[in-house]
Structure 1
Amino acid sequence: MATLGNSAVSSPAAQALYARRRRGNVVLLTLSFAATIFGLAWLVLILAALLYQGFAGLSLEVFTETTPPPGAAGGLLNAIMGSLVMTIIGVVVGTPIGIMAGTYMAEYGRHNKLTTVVRFINDILLAAPSIVIGLFVYEVVVAPMGHFSAIAGSIALAILVIPVVVRTTEDMLSLVPNTMREATAALGLPRSVMIQKVAYRAAMSGIVTGVLLAIARVSGETAPLLFTALNNQFWSTDLNAPMSSLPVTIFQFALSPYPDWQKLAWSGALLITFTVLALNIVARTFLSPRTSK
């Protein structure tokens, strides 16, 4: 039997098939490697241009002065504070809703039809372009109010936060072993206590990671804020009025013909890039398994 097997493998037809597969493997590996190098090359060029232009315009005035008129010196203080305010409000509003929805889907209605519908809608929201969210909030909030406002911008960001938190909360709670739930049930504890004391503690790092990823997503959104908060060249703390934000300011300054505005746009883009990078690093740190010594 062994002789017959070896002769079958060493037959001319088998050797030709093996050689053809090796050639195909080499071709595909070469194409994959070339595509990887091509993509990484453009990424390196973009990051190099961002670092060079961004650091060239970075100064203390960027963090201490408001956006200037053309030809004058200034900074991005009002845009930075506007982004922080709307992002914080959006996260504070969207995170509890996302956690509660994810908890229901993972703990109470895991096999319900409602959970299937909610999960389907949540997946659509995850993939939906952010400009669609901006148009929706414009029709629901901005148009009835009759003016742009930071409140509308915060609502748009909250809607973008919710599906990310829902997905991560459901996934992390679903990974909690059922034996832990059975143990709490054997002790006579209600399900709400089990969720608070056992499930949330076991899935805490994953839930926090989802919140950080949601912050990283909304911190660089421009389209929703164009239709909701618009922009404001001056310092403003009125939530019921247009408010400046860093992504919208970058968008407007980058399209302007003024070199000083373009320099500020590069600096703002550098700040957003570093912020998103830091949030992703922190999120991966929370998500990484912790091994006990």
Structure 2
Amino acid sequence: MNNGFYRRRKLVNRLALTLSMAAAGIGLLFLLLVLSTLVVRGLSGLTLDLVTRMTPPPGSEGGGLLNPIMGSILMTGIAMLLGTPVGILAGTWLAEYGRAGKLAGTIRFINDILLSAPSIIIGLFIYELMVLRMGHFSAWAGAVALAVIVVPVVVRTTEDMLRLVPDSLREAAAALGAARWRVITMVSYRAARTGLVTGALLAFARISGETAPLLFTALNNQFWSTNLNAPMANLPVTIFQFALSPYERWQALAWSGALLITVTILAVNIVARSLSRNKGNRT
């Protein structure tokens, strides 16, 4: 009887393992198909012209993606500057002050909702909050929309990393007479520094390919512009528009731009994972 029960458990275990491996294999197969198509269609366009020439007019040959690339860099950089400090401060309060309080639980719940909220909802919110009141689309609105996406990612990683810092380090610093804020900045932040950088990199990777929020805020611009108070070219929206166009050159640029974003996000994620792994090894 025991042998029969043991054989049945082994059979169920093998069946579950086989189904899990099959599901993982199917997911990896589709991922490889998407990536291979992206590489085949976009690799030929990864030339120096892609990052040194402006977007071409309809129906013309040549051109590149210089203005949307620079627009994306500008708006993403502003979003990181706006969202990262807010996220770090909020995560610090949750980890160092709030802990198990009711307010902290409410903030965590709201943060989880923001983490899983569709980015188009955030775009509509910023459209209502800024674009309608300003009367026009702008890079400022796009950067704020991306910053709203950055905040919950940084809050979660900051809280998690600070909670991993042993309380004995805080107690030792407090025993030496250090104030609470100095313990946090000189001890907790230093111990969790790699994790904080990892969280910022993950947030950057999250917003790099966002299209929906920028459609409602920054829109797009066919020309070079550094005016943050006006519509600005950006890579995700340009890819969206070029991919739907009837012009072969625009479609080729869309594939190359999509490959550029994918490679960038992949590189950022690899760096973030490496930093996280090194932090875990040192701990």
Q: Which residue of 1 aligns with 2:206?
A: 217
Instruction: State the TM-score, normalizing by the size of structure 1.
Output: 0.93
How far 1:69 sits from its partner (Å)? Answer: 1.5
SS in 1 for 2:232: coil
Q: Which residue of 2 aligns with 1:10?
A: none
Q: Which residue of 2 aligns with 1:266?
A: 255
Q: Which amino acid is 1:23 matched to?
A: L
Q: Which residue of 2 aligns with 1:35?
A: 23
How far apart are the structure 2 equivalents of 1:22 and 1:198? Answer: 49
Q: Map 1:1-293 onto structure 2 (within 5 A).
A: 13-72=1-60, 73-289=62-278
How far 1:101 sits from its partner (Å)? Answer: 0.7
SS in 2 for 1:111: coil
SS in 1 for 2:278: coil
How far 1:21 sits from its partner (Å)? Answer: 2.4
SS in 2 for 1:67: coil
How far apart are the structure 2 equivalents of 1:205 and 1:266? Answer: 34
Q: Which amino acid is 2:247 matched to?
A: Y
How far 1:89 sits from its partner (Å)? Answer: 0.2
How far apart are the structure 1 equivalents of 2:250 and 2:213? Answer: 22
How far apart are the structure 1 equivalents of 2:103 and 2:219? Answer: 36
How far apart are the structure 1 equivalents of 2:260 and 2:109? Answer: 35
How far 1:16 sits from its partner (Å)? Answer: 2.6
> What percentage of aligned pairs have identical amino acids?
64
How far apart are the structure 2 equivalents of 1:238 and 1:203? Answer: 37
How far 1:273 sits from its partner (Å)? Answer: 0.5
**CA deviation string 1:179-236 (max 9, x = no partner):** 1111111111100111111000000000000000000000000000000000001101
How far 1:130 sits from its partner (Å)? Answer: 0.4
Structure 1 stretches of 4+ with a deviation exceeding 4 A read none
- Cα distance change on mapping 1:183 and 1:251 into 2, 3 Å: same
| Structure 2 gap ranges (5+) | none
How far 1:256 sits from its partner (Å)? Answer: 1.2
How far 1:33 sits from its partner (Å)? Answer: 1.9
- The Cα RMSD (Å) is 1.2
How far apart are the structure 2 equivalents of 1:237 and 1:289? Answer: 39
**CA deviation string 1:241-282 (max 9, x = no partner):** 000110011111111121111100000001100110111111
SS in 2 for 1:288: helix
How far 1:113 sits from its partner (Å)? Answer: 1.9
How far apart are the structure 1 equivalents of 2:14 and 2:150? Answer: 43
